[in-house]
Amino acid sequence: MHSFKFTIILLLFFFAFSCKQKPQNSQEKADTAPAVNMESYFQGALDGDINPVRDALAQGADVNARDENGRTALMLAAFNGHDHIVRLLLSKDAKVDLTDQSDRSALMFASSGPFAPTVQTLLEAGASLDLVDKEEHWTALMFAAGEGQMEVVKKLVGEGADVNWKDIDGESAYDFALSRQHHDVAAFLKSKM
């Protein structure tokens, strides 16, 4: 049952990212200032296209602006492992631990994929390992374990992620890995418990 629930939540998670990104609260600029295309800003971050991201920032876009789902460009770039955009946004003072409407952080998004370099960048910027999403109380480690991302799991554990944390159903990252048939990840996590 947990594996089915995990799959459904991840499918919803990925579906939400395939939808077009629209700004939630665009800042109004003076009549003489060029209009900032926030839709291009968010889409560029999601697609790994640095030009619209740079352009929007140069025109005064708020680096921490949110789309209609509460996601920032940092979260969108992290979701697809676009480390070059993550680094640019962090250099412009993007807040690394902001969360979306589901309380998911950029680190959680990056941890769901094979994006160890992006995970490392976020950790170096001070990303918290202790944040949990509001629906299931999953951590970045749980997202990585459930997707079988061994390199990311090792990096998170090496940085001090709590391998014994349990979600609202009483399951740990080890349980996530095991239920999804990621036996190598499960064995690694068991050795750290």
pLDDT digits (tens, 9 = 90+) for 41-90: 999 999 999 999 999 999 999 999 999 999 999 999 999 999 999 999 99
Does the pLDDT value for residue 23 go beyond 60? Answer: no
Of the two residues 20 and 86, the one the predictor is more confident about is: 86
Does the pLDDT value for residue 104 go beyond 90? Answer: yes
Closest Cα partner for 185 from 161, 158, 150, 154? 150
Q: What are phi and psi of 52, to 5 degrees?
A: -65, -25
Read off the pLDDT band of 173 (50, 70, 90): very high
CA distance 41 to 70: 14
Angular region, 65: left φ>0, alpha ψ -120 to 50, beta rest: beta
Angular region, 93: left φ>0, alpha ψ -120 to 50, beta rest: left
Radius of gyration of the chain, Cα coordinates, nearest whole angstrom: 17
Residues 26-48: pLDDT tens digits? 444 444 456 789 999 999 999 99
CA distance 120 to 60: 28
Domains of the chain by start residue, with CATH? 2-8+36-191 (1.25.40.20)
Question: What integer pLDDT is reported at residue 36 of this predicted model?
Answer: 86
Does the pLDDT value for residue 96 go beyond 90? Answer: yes
Of the two residues 36 and 12, the one the predictor is more confident about is: 36
Q: Which two tokens stand for residue 160?
A: 């001090």
Residues 129-158: pLDDT tens digits? 999 999 999 999 999 999 999 999 999 999
Output the DSSP codes for 64-97: T--BTTS--HHHHHHHTT-HHHHHHHHHTT--TT
